[in-house]
Amino acid sequence: MVLSDRCIRNEVKQGRIIVEPFDDSCVQPASLDIHLARSFQVFEYWKYPHYIDLRQPLDTLSREVEIDDIDYFSLQPSHFVLGSTMEHITIPNDIMGRLEGKSSLGRVGLLIHATAGYIDPGWKGTLTLELYNVAPMPIHLYPGMKISQISFHRLTTPAELPYGSPELGSKYLDQVGPTPTRYYQERGQPQLMSLSDIKLSSSKKAHQTKGNELRQWLLGSEFQGNIKKLAEALEAPTTTVANWIYTGAKPSLKYRARIFSLTKLSSYASDSTDNTLNLDIAANK
């Protein structure tokens, strides 16, 4: 059931749907207009590595650009950027949302989402917009302009596991601003490998088990699945750490000692030889 304007106002009044800031004049017959924030994530396709590997962290794939309230962002033809809503939105466990473009903007060739039009029950945060210009000329985007609209749909029953539940491994809860992809945190990442990749030798399978164990620890740690932060804590290259987790590459003795010191995972526990190395590392820090 799609909520009408009357129902939307009632849900907001009761504090079940939270929209900050909320402007009552933006309530439409069966939707709510939302506004464009001032920050954008711009893809730097001219920089290395010049491709998108969905098994790796992609934090360096784009950079954030922020514009003033009186300025504008010029979205060039056939260009794709990430934007964000000004509004921080919270949805209860028995309601989901649909993000839709505005007709007036669609008529000049502006698409506001590529696929991410679904807002889960239990969602909290700003919404990342996938902005694409299909027009033959640039489109100027202004902070605070009405950029899209949300319709709200009541579920038949409250969701058993709303967005943010630990079992789901939700990647974007409480996000603020245009947030780059965190697809590399998907639990099913090994499915991206080809059949030849999956046919591992027995020794490599053992290394893969260690990698999976480290990945599970990372998802539940203070780093919240962020490989880049783990790499910084271990003083190791980000690509090296990603290889340990996703390809089963074996860390060197030096890094095994550091991993064990940080995670206390038994599979990385040092033997007598490693203990000596661990002491040397500790002494050199």
- Active-site amino acid positions: 130
Report how far apart, in Å, the C-alpha atoms of 108 and of each of 77, 98, 102, 136 are: 11, 22, 11, 10
User: If you search the block for the tokens 């709303």, which residue do you land on?
Assistant: 162
Contacts of 42 (CB under 8 A, 6+ apart): 62, 63, 64, 65, 81
- Evaluate whether 150 touches 32 at the Cβ level (below 8 Å): yes
Distance CA 31, CA 196 (A): 49
Collapsing DSSP to helix, strand or coil, 239 comes out as helix
Asked if residue 49 has a cis previous peptide bond (ω within 30° of 0), the answer is yes
